[in-house]
Structure 1
Amino acid sequence: MSTHTRPLPKAAPQDKTPPSRTAVLFGPMNEPMADLRGRRIWLIGASSGIGAELARQALAAGARVALSARRAEVLEEVAGAHPEAFIAPLDVLCHDAWRDQHARIVEAFGGVDLLIFCAARYRPERSWEVQEDEAEHTIRTNLASVYSALGAALPDMLARGSGGIALVASVAGYVGLPGATVYGPGKAALINLAEILYSDLRPKGVNVYLVNPGFVKTDLTDKNDFTMPALQTPQQAASAIWRGIGEGRFEIHFPLRFTAWLKLLRILPFRLRFMLFQRFLLS
């Protein structure tokens, strides 16, 4: 586990020429990050699933990665004694812990170039199965704790005029899917928040990425008792996310053969949408 600080490779001079109208309309919405070598990444929710695989792939690509989740011993296993890994245990619901861990990471790395929020809770439940305390815990984990992340990391990024925030939401936030009674609204809020952050932060030099995965085989989706179309592995999901960040995309959604249908469903009139739910999801 590395805790030393060393200078990063010098960045190439930035072109200060204003982008053309064509670039604004059709070019990448964020600054592309194709090369992860030397990038300082703080990954929240790195102990399992997509987050763990994001960490492994970033370390393999030469990034310096701070791994955060509650269980330090599991983070150590994910890091695999990689010299550029920094273990930063964190309970996302502990507000003060965010600033403490951010300070540790800045001391070790010199700053954070990209924060990825990938922590989540989920249990499938219909409206009449919701438990109030569980619902509150899920919303605090999946949504409210993001504001703690922003409070810890954004001031430094804004002061530098660079950096990036990636929020891992879900296609469950596109439409009100039966069974996602608590999880879905929280993810819908993350989608809305990412849009606001992009409008606020991109003009100040901070990249914002919205990640909307389809079904990915993890401990969370193992709770589902239905067939999950276009199910992907965490390795496939992480590769798609890094590819989207490398291309400078704002929304990174995958797999397209599944997410395209949900995007279409999103724009249908409510009457038709609910008829399709009854026909294919609730029958």
Structure 2
Amino acid sequence: MSLPRMQPRDGVAWVTGASSGIGEAVALELAARGWTVAITARRLEQLEEIARRAAGLPGRIVAHAGDVTDTASMRAVVETIESVHGPIALAFLNAGVAPPTSGRILDIEALETALAVNTLGAARGLVAVLERMTSRGRGQIAVNASVVGYGGLPLAAAYGASKAAAIHLCETLKFDCDRLGIRLQLVNPGFIDTPMTRRNDFPMPFLLGIEEAGRRVVDGFEKGGFEITFPRRLSWTVKLVNLLPYPAYFWAIGRFTARYAQRRRN
């Protein structure tokens, strides 16, 4: 079965977590390519400001408040978007958080927050939009995860676990989505210059600007492969390291992170 690569004439695009960062950049890039883009987050004022910035672009942006941690809210947002603007042809389930940890080996509150937004938030969006796309027999959905989800890293238990779960979720659902005629994609970015990553106190190799990240994500929607990952110098390196046997993997990651820790101390 040939899976669709949706275009603006097929309906509207929906982007969650669009009040800043990658979600904002992707929404603006989609509007620049002619899409009507419905953007969702809890902060309606910020969404409306982004919508105003899209004035003059070939497409447009419309704001709809919604909370990805609330199943009823996600269903209501999808119903409103489709009743007002038309069918959702392309969904980018992007909402994500990197909660600060307390310094404990495992911070259960941080883990619960990360899973609630990064994993279950994506799942709630998937459920809400899959119901509509399944009835139409076509559609395109992308879920934003991270290269951090490829394997365990120091000090990333909460964030990494939530992104690893999102990756596994998409890998599993792809089989059913293929059968239903729905293209499911997985977005695994490396380090992007966003308000979230600016809090990091460690070096971020191959850091990309936010506008470039937005372009690469939307390019990936148009190309249609399962995984959209960038920069490849980072993502493929991490993939290769994760092929190592565990003793070699832990040694390599330990050496790499210890080197950067030493640089920070100096």
Normalising by structure 2, we get a TM-score of: 0.90
What aligned pairs does 1:150-169 form with structure 2 within 5 A after superposition? 150-169=126-145
Deviation at 1:130, TM superposition (A): 3.8
Partner of 2:125: 149
Q: Deviations over 1:238-277 (max 9, x none)?
A: 1111111111111011011111110101101110111112
| SS of equivalent residue, structure 2 residue 242 | helix
Aligned twin of 2:37: 65
Letter in 2 for 1:88: H
Structure 1 segments of 4 or more deviating over 6 A?
none
Correspondent of 2:61 among 57, 63, 85: 85
2:115 matched residue in structure 1: 139
Name the structure 2 match of 1:197: 173
Q: Is the 8 A contact 1:55 1:79 kept in 2?
A: no
Of residues 11, 15, 23 in structure 2, which corresponds to 1:51? 23
Q: Which one has a larger percent helix, Structure 1 or Structure 2?
A: 2
Distance 1:127 1:187, change over 3 A: farther
- Share of identical aligned residues, percent? 36
Partner amino acid for 1:70?
R
Distance 1:31 1:68 in 2: 24
The residue aligned with 2:263 is none
**1:260 lines up with 2:233 in the alignment:** no
CA contact under 8 A between 2:111 and 2:158: conserved in structure 1? yes
Total equivalences in the alignment: 255
User: How far, CA to CA, are the matches of 2:5 and 2:82 in structure 1?
Assistant: 23
| 1:103 positional shift | 1.1
Contact 2:99 2:113 in 1 (8 A): no
Matched-pair contact (CA < 8 Å) for 2:37–2:60: yes
Shift of residue 39 of structure 1? 4.1
Q: Partners of 1:131 and 1:125 in 2: how far apart?
A: 6
- Going from structure 1 to structure 2, the CA distance change for 1:115 and 1:51 (only over 3 Å counts) comes to same
Which runs of 5 or more structure 2 residues have no equivalent in the other structure?
Answer: 260-266
Taking the aligned partners of 1:36 and 1:93, their CA distance within structure 2 comes to: 28
Verify the 8 A CA contact 1:124 1:224 in the aligned structure 2.
no
C-alpha distance in structure 2 between counterparts of 1:76 and 1:66, whole Å: 11
Match of 1:114, SS? strand
SS of the equivalent of 2:104 reads: helix
Report the Cα offset of residue 125 of structure 1: 4.5
Distance of aligned partners of 1:92 and 1:115 in 2 relative to their CA distance in 1, 3 Å threshold: same
